[in-house]
Amino acid sequence: MVIKNVHLFYFSPTYTTKKTVKAIAEGLGADFVEHDLTFSFESEEEFYLQKDEIAIVGVPVYGGRTPVITRNMLNKIHGDNSLAVAVAVYGNRDYDDALLELKDILSENGFSVIAGGAFIGEHSYTRKVGTRRPDDEDIAKAVAFGKDIRAKVDSDTYTKNIDVKGNFPYKADMPVRVFSPMANKNCIYCRKCHIVCPVGAIDKKDPEIVDVEKCIHCYACVKICTFNGREIPGNPLKDIVAFLETKCSERKEPEIFI
């Protein structure tokens, strides 16, 4: 099959999913169009792909599921028996049902999912789990995955709607937690945190003002701050972070389905 266009769709507040999806596209060896969905939760834009186009769609994993905020965005990506690659990026604990859920969403939206991958990114809650991933080794594996996808498409003998790991019914979403990282005494008011917040929870002029009910706990504001100027008051996630740092520190490798 001749691929006319390659489209990249990703939700990536801390850039790990973006890096992974772009590396896969590099391996595919074709020009691509990027659609950054990170700040598109209120957008009404719809995307319609043709039969000779392929979509590489990546989302981070939130508690073993696709992020709730991404599901409406994903349902605006439509295929006409178009090809798709499902990509889930998780923080070295487990991706549980997220990859299966993403594959199912794409299938329901008119795509033939011919490949899927679960890759690792640095955990949002702590830099000590999945530290600085995706690293060079991860990127190389993502590029190799893209090359394998290209070979599969060129062979014209590929299986549509491949099987991936996961369970249905999917596990429950994480409970709603109403808190947010806040500015501390180290904050220098550079306002980078406002720029990277995908839901506009941080005030444009005063980073000490946060709409905690909007926060989706992506921790992009914490990751972007080079002054350690944001933290969660009272550390309500301390038990979860302790579990992650003690039980999920062993390096995991990407899992590929093709």
Query: Rg of the Cα trace of the chain?
Result: 18
| Per-residue model confidence as pLDDT tens for the chain (258 residues) | 788 999 999 999 999 999 999 999 999 999 999 999 999 999 999 999 999 999 999 999 999 999 999 999 999 999 999 999 999 999 999 999 999 999 999 999 999 999 999 999 999 999 999 999 999 999 999 999 999 999 999 987 777 789 999 999 999 999 988 999 999 999 999 999 999 999 999 999 999 999 999 999 999 999 999 999 999 998 899 999 999 999 999 999 999 999
